[in-house]
A and B are shown apart, each in its own frame.
Chain A
Amino acid sequence: MDIIEVVGLRKQYRRLRGGSHVAVDGLDLAVPQGGVFGFLGPNGAGKTTTIRCLLGLVAPTAGSCRLLGADVGRDLPRVLGRVGSIVETPALFPTMSGRRNLELLGRLHGIGPRQITATLERVGLAERADDLVKRYSLGMRQRLGLAAALLKDPEVLILDEPANGLDPAGIKEVRDLLRGLGDEGRTVFVSSHLLSEVRQTCDRVAILARGRCVAAGPVTDVLANGHGAGLLVRLDDLDRGRAVLAAAGIPASRDGDALRVALPPAEAATVTHGLAGQGLYLTELRPDEADLETVFLELTAERPLEVAR
């Protein structure tokens, strides 16, 4: 069963002065159980609106969202106790301490002080737990938001930019925390624009552009579908190497001081065997993978025809 199912989701906001703005436009998304799922997209792509729809904060104009099998519009209260979340910058009462904020939220689900203390320790906020939230840095507020999300010991975590405002050490801590939660079998749905973090943390990814999903699947598959799925070959005589490969029916093109070979990395042996057979020895052979940033920028680039649709 998919933990999160989004079908044909559309959200159109009306503007006060007339007109409207489509934030999400026919989004389909399926997030399987367990692991960390990255939700990528440029600013304004519709990530936060999608998360708000999933949490029942915003009513979709069309389409449906299901969370843990429950229709969000009708049955959300039944499953929300199993879901922890952060939406944008965590909002908690600034004139209360971090602990007091968690105590008040925790009472709604019968969560006691021991669990609150344990959660504060888990996010590294135990020492400042009794300070007022208004004295917290952005990173500390983010940690407190994470603590609130984790407080219910949830099966599913829906986190909107959880590393926002954290320093490098904090980002690594959050990355390790999310990875650990995913490894425990929980489902972590995390939106982010930090591509390197997504690459290191997520098992699967969906890329959103202009309110639509433009790519989804395991991170390696999404990368492989980028422009450069193939092999990068370096050798002393590039022109002769290209001719040898062409004679063997393997398309290759010269790119600076290397050859780009249109074969999947699993067939690298064909290349080495063919070239070595003609006395050409390789100085470098590696998968020609696009990095996530390249794929992301390609997929989310403005395409006038699609925008006009």
Chain B
Amino acid sequence: MTALMAVEVRRVFSRRLVRVSVALAVLALLAGAAIAFLVSRDMDQAALAQAEAARQAQVQQCITGQVDGVPAGLPAQQRAEVCEQHISSPIQDRRFHYESLPGILGGMSWFAILLGWLLGASLVGAEWHAGTMATLLTWEPRRVRVLLAKLVAAGALAFTLAMALQLLLGAALLPAGLWRGTTDGIDADWMGSVSGVSLRVAAVAVVGALIGFSIAAISRNTAAALGIAFGYFAIVENAIRGLRPHWTPWLLGDNLAVVITNQPQNFPLVDRSALGAATLVGCYTLALLVAAVATFRRRDIT
């Protein structure tokens, strides 16, 4: 089994699609970081502090009812929130706040899911397309082992790639934080938050890879797995949200979002914690994996 997994991992990293996908992802991330660097501006701290003090004074005036445009009769707390949003600083803060990295990484999660889905589906779909599955099975006929080795390789690839890309993005944005912005707020809590987001993004990338892999293993086709991904996320989920809103708590996309944000969600009828969403996503993934293994065990390789 170890040799089989080692072979699968080597095979994965020898594949052109993997190399091209990684190269494109790296280029996209570097381009994003370069844009962040170019549009950010280092600004005078004293001027920003002065502007903020002026804004706070205006907010206080707003709370006491001395500013037009804020509805009268609001409760005190709500009025304070409205004023906070209503009053903007006279100087726009164009610094890059490196502290916002966890949010940026979380925003990357859909990209990670789709990349994982593509690579997972292609890993097994290409084998069917090239006919190499038959060749492999004449060397290792234990089909469950073969499929599990490929699954592990797909999951390991998705996890490694997601973590590496997030690390790269964090490193690529650092110059913007250091020279065109601020690194204020970076402390142990922030590090914990970044680690948590990174792991959750990598985990959903693995989920994407395993689901894509399972569908491609059943359909024996990469394109079918990608088509199903598009059809499900773009059409089925949106149709359900519109036509059957009470089914929303059971949608894959919504539960993945809960996992990524690590925030409980009050779905219609159901309150779901991040752990509950993760469990549901895990059950869906496991069901597809079991179906893929069962199909592969019985299938004639023609």
Docked CA distance A277–B135 (Å): 66
Whole-angstrom CA separation of A110 from B2 in the bound complex? 12
Min C-beta distance of B12 to chain A, whole Å: 11
Pair B14/A57 contact, Cβ less than 8 Å:
no
Of residues 49 to 79 in A, which have CB atoms within 8 Å of B's CB atoms? 52, 55-59, 76-77
Q: Does B78 contact A (CB under 8 A)?
A: no
Chain A contact residue count (CB 8 A cutoff): 29
A214 within 8 A of B: no
Query: In the complex, what residue of chain B is closest to A56 when comparing beta carbons?
Result: B141
CB of B135 within 8 A of CB of A105, answer yes
A107 an interface residue at 8 Å Cβ cutoff?
yes
Contact indicator B15/A95 (Cβ below 8 Å): yes
Q: Check if B138 sits within 8 Å of A87, measured CB to CB.
A: yes
Question: Interface size for chain B: under 10, 10 to 19, 20 to 34, or 35 or more residues?
Answer: 20 to 34
CB < 8 Å neighbour of A57 from B7, B130, B137: B137
- A76-100 interface (Cβ within 8 A of B): 76-77, 80, 83, 85, 87, 89-96, 100
Within 8 A of A (CB), among B95-139: 130-132, 134-139
Check B300–A76 contact: CB distance below 8 A: no
Q: Does A114 sit within 8 A of B, measured CB to CB?
A: no
- Contacts A107-B6, A110-B3 given; indicate if A95 touches B16 (C-beta within 8 A): yes
Pick the contact of B138 from A80, A95, A96 — CB < 8 Å? A80
Residues of A within 8 A of B142 (CB): 77
- Nearest opposing residue in chain A for B139, CB measure: A108
**Distance, CA A80 to CA B136, complexed state (A):** 12
Which chain A positions have C-beta within 8 A of B271? none
Closest 5 A-B residue pairs measured CB to CB?
Answer: A91-B131, A57-B301, A58-B300, A56-B141, A95-B16
> Apart from A52-B301, A57-B137, A83-B138, what 15 extra A-B contacts exist at CB < 8 Å?
A13-B300, A52-B134, A52-B302, A55-B138, A56-B137, A58-B301, A76-B141, A77-B141, A77-B142, A85-B138, A87-B135, A89-B131, A93-B132, A96-B14, A107-B3
Q: Show the binding face of A for B, using Cβ within 8 Å.
A: 13, 52, 55-59, 76-77, 80, 83, 85, 87, 89-96, 100, 104-105, 107-110, 148
A–B Cβ pairs within 8 angstroms, 17 of them:
A52-B134, A52-B301, A52-B302, A57-B300, A57-B302, A58-B302, A87-B134, A89-B131, A92-B130, A92-B135, A93-B14, A95-B14, A95-B15, A100-B14, A104-B11, A107-B10, A108-B4
